[in-house]
């Protein structure tokens, strides 16, 4: 396939946050091709694959669609898969892996492992015929394919990312229940946060919200310090990965980082977590921009008139018992009462939150991993 060819690029995101991913993509200069639950699609070329891997904050991976077709029988699945041009990517010596299929309850074909092995067989048969061989050694570059069924439509995608994009590389250690970096970023995008405004996280854990906000403020794109599956593929122009990485490093706002402007505050009653935050923020090169402190929620305060509490308190499901939860939410209520003109955004699966906070909120359903949560938004008097 030519470097200039255009194709569908599929970007999975958190369920319920498609509109945020869409906005992020538009801001990066893309027109949206389509949106379905948990996925946004744009059209682009290999340069876009690099840009999206390096820049996206809210999506999970960058996939190239190889083809889409209807399949209600395994024979249709085999024949339609075999008709796709896998040789555009996979060379005679390359490794190719098919991940376990992802299918919905509306599709006729159910067995994820059977789908996986039929797709593999179809690709093997196609490549053997194209390369005129009866042996594929699978020893060079690795190509990973993902298969998705939705209402009998099968879409075969090539994963260019590898480890999910939420792995930025700065979080070497985390607590028991860290929020994914992509979800933390998407939540920040749901608030009116912009550089110069205050964010306070009284249950900061490993510091994810604050580090993500600081990276936004300093114009640090999240993928610039990690690696991706597709970096060695021959489809990319020589040096383009290096050139794009260098460009995004050059546009970091180093002056702002060196200004030491502290507008981001993180607290946790576990001193180990504060040590972890300091290390993580240093790796992300935003330690100048965040104040982390070992403090119990009941001792947290702030004198600024306007700001945002953005936080992920203990849910009471995974890491804490009822006393911890009572203390945490009562403390949060007290803190928010002392910051009356602020706005507050709380992601939690604890549906008793209204009882603790005693006021109306806008609630948005989100999934934090497998846990159903809500983002409870309390809008303060902040204008602008
Ligand atoms: C769900 S975790 C936050 C995870 C964080 N968002 C991250 O990405 O790592 C909740 C945090 O609240 C802290 N915590 C629980 N009760 C607290 C309290 N009363 N005061 C301060 N921190 C508390 C815990 O130590 C834990 O790190």
What are the residues whose beta carbons fall under 8 Å from the beta carbon of 101, sequence distance 6 or more? 112, 115, 116, 119, 147, 148, 149
183 CA to middle of ligand 1, Å?
Answer: 17
Phi/psi zone of residue 205: left (φ > 0), alpha (ψ -120 to 50 degrees), beta? left
The predicted pLDDT at position 318 comes to: 55
The predicted pLDDT at position 316 comes to: 80
- Whether residue 384 is predicted with pLDDT greater than 80 in this model: the reply is no
* CA gap 269, 247 in Å, rounded: 40
Residues in the chain: 384
> Ligand 1: residues within 6 Å at CB?
174-175, 177-179, 203, 205-206, 208, 268-270, 273, 296-297, 312-314, 324, 327-328, 331
* CA gap 326, 319 in Å, rounded: 13
306 CA to middle of ligand 1, Å?
Answer: 23
Give Rg (Cα) of the chain: 23
Structure token pair of residue 45: 């070329």
269 CA to middle of ligand 1, Å?
Answer: 7
* CA gap 55, 249 in Å, rounded: 11
265 CA to middle of ligand 1, Å?
Answer: 14
Q: Whose CA is nearest to atom 8 of ligand 1?
A: 178
- Whether residue 70 is predicted with pLDDT greater than 90 in this model: the reply is yes
The predicted pLDDT at position 68 comes to: 97
- pLDDT bin (cut points 50, 70, 90) of residue 355 is confident
CA nearest neighbour of 285 among 310, 258, 312: 258
The predicted pLDDT at position 155 comes to: 98
The predicted pLDDT at position 383 comes to: 56
Question: Coil, helix or strand for 82?
Answer: helix
Residue 327 CA: nearest ligand 1 atom is 19
Residue 295 CA: nearest ligand 1 atom is 21
User: What residue ranges define each of the domains in the chain, with the CATH number in brackets?
Assistant: 7-159 (3.30.2130.30), 181-223+252-378 (3.40.50.150)
CA nearest neighbour of 201 among 31, 335, 362, 330: 335
The predicted pLDDT at position 382 comes to: 62
CA nearest neighbour of 35 among 15, 50, 51, 63: 15
What are the residues whose beta carbons fall under 8 Å from the beta carbon of 18, sequence distance 6 or more? 35, 36, 37, 38, 39, 40
CA nearest neighbour of 3 among 44, 57, 62: 44
Q: Whose CA is nearest to atom 14 of ligand 1?
A: 203
CA atoms within 13 A on the CB side of 103: 21
381 CA to middle of ligand 1, Å?
Answer: 27
Residue 368, φ and ψ in degrees, nearest 5? -100, 95
With the most atoms of ligand 1 within 8 angstroms of its CB, the residue from 205, 209, 298, 322 to mutate is: 205
Percent of the chain with pLDDT over 90: 83
Residue 176 CA: nearest ligand 1 atom is 2
- DSSP codes joined into one string, 84-114: S-GGGT--TT-EEEEPPPEE-TTSS---HHH
363 CA to middle of ligand 1, Å?
Answer: 21
With the most atoms of ligand 1 within 8 angstroms of its CB, the residue from 328, 356, 371, 373 to mutate is: 328
21 CA to middle of ligand 1, Å?
Answer: 27
Q: Whose CA is nearest to atom 12 of ligand 1?
A: 203
Answer for the pair 48, 151: CB distance below 8 angstroms, yes or no. Answer: no
What are the residues whose beta carbons fall under 8 Å from the beta carbon of 25, sequence distance 6 or more? 11, 32, 40, 42, 56
More confident residue, 202 or 232: 202
328 CA to middle of ligand 1, Å?
Answer: 9
205 CA to middle of ligand 1, Å?
Answer: 5
What percentage of the chain's residues is helix, strand, coil (to nearest 5)?
35, 25, 45
Q: Tell me: the pLDDT tens digits for 211-253?
A: 999 999 999 999 999 999 999 898 888 899 999 999 999 999 9
The predicted pLDDT at position 2 comes to: 66
What 122-129 contacts at long range (C-beta under 8 Å, 24+ apart), as own/partner pairs, is: 122/77, 122/78, 122/79, 122/81, 122/82, 123/81, 123/82, 123/86, 123/90, 123/96, 123/98, 125/82, 126/81, 126/82, 126/84, 126/86, 126/87, 127/86, 127/87, 127/90, 127/92
CA nearest neighbour of 58 among 210, 212, 281, 249: 212
Mean pLDDT of 19-47: 97
Q: Tell me: the pLDDT tens digits for 273-289?
A: 999 999 999 999 999 99
Q: Tell me: the pLDDT tens digits for 248-274?
A: 999 999 999 999 899 999 999 999 999
């Amino acid at each position: 396939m030519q470097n200039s060819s255009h194709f569908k690029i599929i970007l999975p995101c958190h369920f319920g946050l498609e509109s945020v991913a869409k906005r992020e993509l538009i801001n990066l200069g893309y027109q949206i091709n389509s949106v379905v639950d948990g996925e946004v699609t744009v059209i682009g070329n290999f340069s876009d694959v690099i840009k999206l891997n390096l820049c996206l904050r809210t999506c999970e991976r960058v996939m190239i669609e190889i083809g889409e077709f209807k399949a209600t029988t395994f024979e249709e699945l085999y024949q339609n898969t075999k008709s796709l041009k896998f040789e555009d990517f996979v060379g005679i010596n390359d490794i190719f892996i098919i991940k376990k299929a992802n299918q919905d309850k509306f599709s006729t074909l159910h067995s994820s492992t059977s789908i996986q092995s039929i797709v593999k067989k179809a690709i093997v048969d196609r490549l053997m015929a194209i390369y005129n061989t009866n042996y594929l050694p699978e020893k060079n570059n690795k190509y990973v394919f993902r298969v998705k069924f939705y209402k009998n439509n099968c879409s075969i995608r090539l994963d260019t990312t590898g480890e999910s994009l939420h792995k930025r590389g700065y979080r070497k250690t985390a607590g028991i229940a860290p929020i994914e970096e992509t979800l933390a970023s998407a939540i920040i995008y749901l608030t009116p946060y912009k550089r110069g405004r205050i964010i306070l996280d009284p249950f900061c854990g490993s510091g994810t919200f604050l580090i993500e906000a600081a990276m936004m403020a300093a114009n640090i794109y999240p993928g610039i310090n990690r690696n991706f599956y597709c970096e060695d593929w021959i489809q990319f122009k020589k040096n383009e990965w290096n050139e794009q990485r260098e460009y995004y490093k050059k546009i970091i706002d180093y002056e702002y980082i060196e200004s030491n402007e502290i507008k981001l505050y993180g607290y946790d009653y576990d001193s180990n977590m504060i040590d972890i935050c300091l290390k993580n923020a240093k790796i992300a090169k935003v330690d100048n921009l965040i104040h982390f402190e070992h403090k119990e929620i009941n001792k947290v305060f702030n004198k600024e008139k306007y700001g945002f509490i953005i936080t992920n308190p203990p849910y009471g499901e995974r890491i804490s018992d009822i006393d911890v939860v009572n203390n945490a939410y009562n403390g949060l209520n007290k803190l928010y009462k002392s910051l009356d003109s602020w706005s507050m955004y709380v992601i939690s699966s604890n549906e008793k939150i209204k009882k603790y906070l005693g006021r109306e909120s806008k609630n948005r359903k989100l999934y934090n991993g497998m846990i159903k949560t809500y983002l409870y938004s309390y809008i303060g008097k902040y204008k602008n």
